[in-house]
Amino acid sequence: MRNWFVLPALSKLIGYDLDELGITVCSVSGTNFAPYIRLLAPKGLNIPFAVITDLDPQADNANLGEARLLTLLKLLASPVDLAGKNVQQKLALAAEKGLFLNDYTFEVDLFRCGRHKSMGKTLIELAVSEPAKDRARQWIDDPAELDPRVMLRDISAIGKGRFAQRLAANLRNTECPPYIKNALDYVTARCQ
């Protein structure tokens, strides 16, 4: 999904006006965050930032997100800071440095945090097939029935950008995935 449509709308609903704070949501169009971190980090322009990335679970129960975050952490923490720490301690340090990881993907975590109604409504409005609309109705009624891979496929069929634009317009309440809230708290505290 195109987070740069959804994040500003979501931020405003939870009390952060990113425009007013001078915060820009930037897409890196993938997962190559390293050049941006080098540019913005204290040894670069020294501009506050937060990185939000997906866990990206794989079929073999591995994930790509933790490895991505741990690699990025090496750009922000010294070898001494990392020495002797296990993965969980390093992930906690990553959050202290402005690197945030979700539990699945942005879309799935947004759905699971309580936004199933707005996401389902958006799917119903934009889906091109009746089966996709029926699935969305079922997920609204029973969020536990969500099949993440099918929902992601349905969103892709619509187009991630188109879906995100409409979803941003459909957001009404303050539910927010914890990792997004933590990232917003982190970066806004450094921009005020």
d(CA 167, CA 119): 6
User: What pLDDT, on the 0 to 100 scale, is given for residue 78?
Assistant: 95
For residues 19 and 58, the model is more confident at 19
* Residue 34 confidence class, pLDDT cut points 50, 70, 90: very high
Res. 57: pLDDT tops 90: no
Summary mean pLDDT of the chain: 94
What is the span of the domain harbouring residue 141? Answer: 112-170
Digit-coded pLDDT (tens) for 61-96: 889 999 999 999 999 999 999 999 999 999 999 999
| 10 lies in the same domain as 64 | yes
Q: What angle do CA 92, 110, 151 make, to 5 degrees?
A: 125
d(CA 78, CA 149): 38
* Residue 2 confidence class, pLDDT cut points 50, 70, 90: low
| 101 lies in the same domain as 116 | no
Q: What is the reported pTM?
A: 0.91
Res. 1: pLDDT tops 70: no
The token pair at 134 is: 């029926």
| 30 lies in the same domain as 82 | yes
Side-chain-side CA neighbours of residue 127 (13 Å): 21
* Residue 4 confidence class, pLDDT cut points 50, 70, 90: confident
Digit-coded pLDDT (tens) for 118-135: 999 999 999 999 999 999
Return the DSSP state at 56. Answer: -
Q: How many domains does the chain have?
A: 2
| 117 lies in the same domain as 81 | no
| 74 lies in the same domain as 151 | no
| 17 lies in the same domain as 61 | yes
- Residues near 84 by beta carbon (within 8 Å), at least 6 away in sequence: none
User: Is the separation of the CB atoms in 4 and 14 below 8 Å?
Assistant: no
| 99 lies in the same domain as 136 | no
| 154 lies in the same domain as 181 | no
